[in-house]
Structure 1
Amino acid sequence: MLLGTVRDCKGATHMAGLVRSWDAAKAAARMTRLRRARIAAGGITIAAAAALIAGCSSSPSTSSPPAATSSAPAASSSAPAAASSTPAASGPVRMAIFYYNPSPYGVASLAGAKAEAAKLGIQLDAFDGNNNPQLQTTQIQDAITTGKYKAFWVWGLDDVALTPVINKAISAGIKVACADYTWGTLAQQNTLAATQTCATTIGQSIAPEATNLETTMNGACTKAVGTGHCNIAFLPGLANYPTDTNRINQMTAYYKSKSNYTFTVMPPGQYDQTQSQSVAQTFFTAHKNINVFATFGDQMAQGALTALKLVGGYTPGQNILIIGYGGAQEIVNEVKTGLVYATLGLYPAGESKLGIQYLDDAVQGKSIPNLVNIIDPASRPAVINKAFLDAHPSYVPDWNLEGGLGTAG
């Protein structure tokens, strides 16, 4: 969940959660999630957040109130304007998904929810928070007022601010499930945990993300220079974005104690492919000795790859190793070919499929797990590298940089 004003993501993307997670809207997006995704919490403006996110490729956002969409063609919406609808079987259960933004990460979370809703015969209405916590609060309040919904699947843009309206939903008998991270403050999101607010929480812990990046960058350095000195360039998403700042600070402190590494933080790529290309082109024109490049978003990695072609002197997969973040289809394919060294995994569609499934069970009075860690070493790994892909040839990425579901091959 995003805390602050936004990731994922996923990474998703969050604000105080991870805008992921990545998506120009996770470049407009997520917060921490964009998770991830997963941004205004650290003094970041919504406009900057809109350049963000999640997860992952850029996507335009609008300043007008986002419309609600429905998985049932005849469904009406409580949002200011009705948008498109997709055919799905109508059922006795009607749910709402409140997702981060129209970035690839956010749209992928919606795609996963729609797929599961169609499978279960659930009528699903979708509300795009557009990286605006106040708007999302209004959307949730309006949805409660209609009395139409049995359950809410929430990708929170600002958990702390949203808690009062979520409590109103619970008091009204609406089942609420929470996506991406622990529902709460950024500190609470370091470790995935169940909360009284959410019937179930589905996501991952934030704290291991920096550690996983360190381990992956160290492996890349060993491949690139052996035991020699390794120069790492890191492209963050947003300046002063709490989740990014925390992870950058952790990694900077870690490498400061390692004499055989130089860790350089580049200007932020705004979780946007085009902006990241511009930043990377300027940086790599001036820096010709970088061994490893890493970032918080797969869409930013794609932008850097384009920049490296334009700059010249660098050959990804040979004299510079690239590390993405998000596990998007496009980057996973490039890991297979060796163009990209690795990407870290975010699972917006997978989270949504489970979220809708468990909400359906809860509405029917069945018991559901109050906590689900989306990370699974065999099916949803924290790190996706060639060794993993070689060992799991049937692995299917969770999502893609267009906001769709991943496919085999």
Structure 2
Amino acid sequence: MDKKWLGAVVGLFLLLAYLFINFANHSARMGNIVKELRGHPVGGSTGYHIVLIEQERYHPYWEKIEKGAREAAEKYGIEIEFTGPVRNNMEEQISLLEKAVAAQADAIIVQGLNDEKFTPVIDKAVDRGIPVVTIDTDAPDSKRLAYVGTDNVAAGETLGRMVVKTTGGKGKIGVIIGSDQAKNQLQRLHGLSSIIKGHKGLEIVDVRSSNISHMEAIQQAADMLRQHPDIDVMVGTSSTDALGVIQASKSLKRTGMTIISFDNLAETLNAIKKGDLKATLAQQPYLMGNTAVRLLHEHFQGQTVRSEYFTEVKVLDKNNVQEGESL
């Protein structure tokens, strides 16, 4: 009798557990249906897939953008795909943008490029219902949703004021820009030049492009210094330029020259600590990537976003160089 009674109790317990689990599953399914009817995503993913097209994969600057974008995507349950040329190549970037449009991505984040070739592709994406956020460099004449990044003309002006402050308003200047095709680099050069022109004792004697290549930056800086031995100030407008200048100046045994950089790579911060660099102008690439994804999330939710989100820049020198490690 005891065994029969125990068996009956166990059977009743299993039946109740079965009914409870079925009830819980049914309630969960009903809850999900209600959420879907109200327009709320179910589960950890929103179902949105966005593509971020970088200027150059595995470049330290773009890796920071990627990190910020990835963390925001995880926060909002968005699937994000990263792509870009291994070596800086505008035509390949445009081709990747075309592919993202053809694949019907839900949104695209991309660096602004040559207006004539680039703007029509952005507009095609938007016309097909794919919002585009430009990052690092803008394409203001396109139908893009928003731009996130540095105000590059203002950043160039800040570089100019850094030159004036460190030289006392006198000196011959050489400039290495990241690319003579990239709008952000030309904007920085324009801002720098506008400040230099206001000081009679300062003169930009040569401008060359590194094509976002460390080796090319070394070669162009070395050639420039050989042709213009009177240069006493060198300015780099992209992350690798001034690092190339340092190596070129050391190989030519040029001492006492003021070198001003852009961005806050670990190598750049170490060069400031060692005294090889006077100062650098640091952007906030992590914040750019994070903000771009956040804006798309808000757009997906039906919120209105501003057309421009300028991230701040910060002058770093030996007095505050540690702050650059957290940007």
Same fold (TM over 0.5): yes
Task: Name the amino acid aligned to 1:143.
Answer: A
1:353 aligns with: 290
Instruction: Check 1:127–1:200 CA distance in 2 against 1; reply closer, same or farther (3 A cut).
Output: same
Deviation at 1:218, TM superposition (A): 0.9
Query: Could you list the per-position Cα deviations for residues 256-301 of structure 1 after superposition, in whole angstroms to 9, with x for gaps in the alignment?
Result: 6644334321544333221222333344456555432212223121
Instruction: Check 1:96–1:245 CA distance in 2 against 1; reply closer, same or farther (3 A cut).
Output: closer
- Are positions 1:396 and 2:325 aligned together? yes
Q: Unaligned 5+ residue runs, structure 2? A: 1-43
1:271 aligns with: 212
- Are positions 1:169 and 2:125 aligned together? yes
For 1:150, which of 106, 113, 117 is the aligned residue? Answer: 106
Instruction: Check 1:98–1:250 CA distance in 2 against 1; reply closer, same or farther (3 A cut).
Output: closer
1:203 aligns with: 149
Q: Unaligned 5+ residue runs, structure 1? A: 1-88, 186-194, 399-409
2:19 aligns with: none
1:18 aligns with: none
For 1:385, which of 308, 317, 321 is the aligned residue? Answer: 317
Alignment of 1:276-295 (within 5 A): 276-284=217-225, 289-295=230-236
Kept in 1, the 8 Å contact 2:53–2:83? The answer is yes
Alpha-carbon distance between aligned partners in 2 of 1:241 and 1:362, rounded to the nearest angstrom: 28
1:121 aligns with: 77
Deviation at 1:216, TM superposition (A): 0.8
Larger Rg, first or second structure (1 or 2): 2
Alpha-carbon distance between aligned partners in 1 of 2:261 and 2:149, rounded to the nearest angstrom: 19
Alpha-carbon distance between aligned partners in 1 of 2:112 and 2:241, rounded to the nearest angstrom: 23
Alpha-carbon distance between aligned partners in 1 of 2:90 and 2:229, rounded to the nearest angstrom: 42
For 2:279, which of 324, 339, 342 is the aligned residue? Answer: 342
Instruction: Check 1:159–1:351 CA distance in 2 against 1; reply closer, same or farther (3 A cut).
Output: farther
Question: Could you say what secondary structure the match of 1:330 adopts?
Answer: helix
Instruction: Check 1:337–1:362 CA distance in 2 against 1; reply closer, same or farther (3 A cut).
Output: same
Kept in 2, the 8 Å contact 1:230–1:291? The answer is yes
Deviation at 1:150, TM superposition (A): 2.5
Alpha-carbon distance between aligned partners in 1 of 2:186 and 2:100, rounded to the nearest angstrom: 34
Identity among equivalent positions (%) equals 20
For 1:178, which of 134, 156, 160 is the aligned residue? Answer: 134
Alpha-carbon distance between aligned partners in 1 of 2:66 and 2:182, rounded to the nearest angstrom: 24
Instruction: Check 1:200–1:250 CA distance in 2 against 1; reply closer, same or farther (3 A cut).
Output: closer
For 1:299, which of 229, 240, 246 is the aligned residue? Answer: 240
Instruction: Check 1:367–1:336 CA distance in 2 against 1; reply closer, same or farther (3 A cut).
Output: farther
Alpha-carbon distance between aligned partners in 2 of 1:177 and 1:259, rounded to the nearest angstrom: 41
**What TM-score do the two structures reach when normalised by structure 2?**
0.70
Instruction: Check 1:303–1:96 CA distance in 2 against 1; reply closer, same or farther (3 A cut).
Output: same
Task: Name the amino acid aligned to 2:106.
Answer: K
- Are positions 1:325 and 2:253 aligned together? no
Deviation at 1:199, TM superposition (A): 2.8
* Larger helix share, 1 or 2: 2
Alignment of 1:46-65 (within 5 A): none
Kept in 2, the 8 Å contact 1:326–1:344? The answer is yes
Q: CA RMSD of the aligned region, Å?
A: 3.4
Query: Could you list the per-position Cα deviations for residues 139-160 of structure 1 after superposition, in whole angstroms to 9, with x for gaps in the alignment?
Result: 444434444x332222233344
- Are positions 1:260 and 2:201 aligned together? yes
Instruction: Check 1:170–1:284 CA distance in 2 against 1; reply closer, same or farther (3 A cut).
Output: closer
Kept in 1, the 8 Å contact 2:55–2:62? The answer is yes
Alpha-carbon distance between aligned partners in 1 of 2:123 and 2:228, rounded to the nearest angstrom: 52
- Are positions 1:97 and 2:52 aligned together? yes
Deviation at 1:247, TM superposition (A): 5.5
Alpha-carbon distance between aligned partners in 1 of 2:115 and 2:302, rounded to the nearest angstrom: 26
Task: Name the amino acid aligned to 2:69.
Answer: A
